[in-house]
Amino acid sequence: MDVAPEQIGVINHVNHQKSLIHVVVERGVDGTCPISRYAGEAKVGDAVAVRLARHHGKTRMHTRIIAILPTDRSPAPDVCRTFREATNVTESGLGFTLGDIFIPPHMIAAADIESGDLVEGVAVTSFDKKRGKCGMKAIRAKSVARNHHNFGRVGQEDHDDDW
């Protein structure tokens, strides 16, 4: 029996400043490793085969990546999946799809996503500290159709004289 069996995960963050890769294998199971251990260029969204060592810390379980390789195998859909959904954008620039995938403000701005747009992309599992639970977060997103869904906002034509 293998002490650290191979598992499939996805790179969900690369910290170039600290030279670290963050990988999610399943909800509640994630870990980091030095970029230097990865064969190739580490990119967010890449599937990886990892071997993990888990141990109890003072307050929680800790996971360390002891081996990491690129792979063609896909992670589980609750870890990484594609999406194509209508998106609502809040006044503060936060995006949320109808399926409750969070799209960060920098992606909303970079892709010029507007409320009601049909958006497609890739999402990974992510722990939402505010809500205290796991959800899905977009790591890639682009608008493929404007005005796909009305989120109950009054049309812009009703506000022409406000400007």
Within-domain flag for 153? no
Nearest Cα to 140, choosing from 115, 121, 118, 162?
121
Q: What pLDDT does residue 151 have? A: 67
Nearest Cα to 64, choosing from 75, 55, 76?
55
* Same domain membership, residue 58 and residue 35: yes
Within-domain flag for 163? no
* Same domain membership, residue 139 and residue 107: yes
* Same domain membership, residue 89 and residue 60: no
Within-domain flag for 24? yes
Distance, in Å, from the CA atom of 45 to the CA atom of 48, rounded to the nearest integer, reads: 9
Q: What is the pLDDT of residues 101-126, one digit of tens each?
A: 999 999 999 999 999 999 999 999 98
Does 68 have pLDDT greater than 80? yes
Does 15 have pLDDT greater than 90? yes
Q: What is the pLDDT of residues 82-105, one digit of tens each?
A: 999 999 999 999 999 999 999 999
Does 152 have pLDDT greater than 90? no
How many structural domains are present in the chain? 2
Check which CATH number belongs to the domain holding 115 and give it.
2.40.50.140
pTM above 0.85, yes or no: no
* Same domain membership, residue 87 and residue 62: no
Nearest Cα to 63, choosing from 18, 33, 95?
33
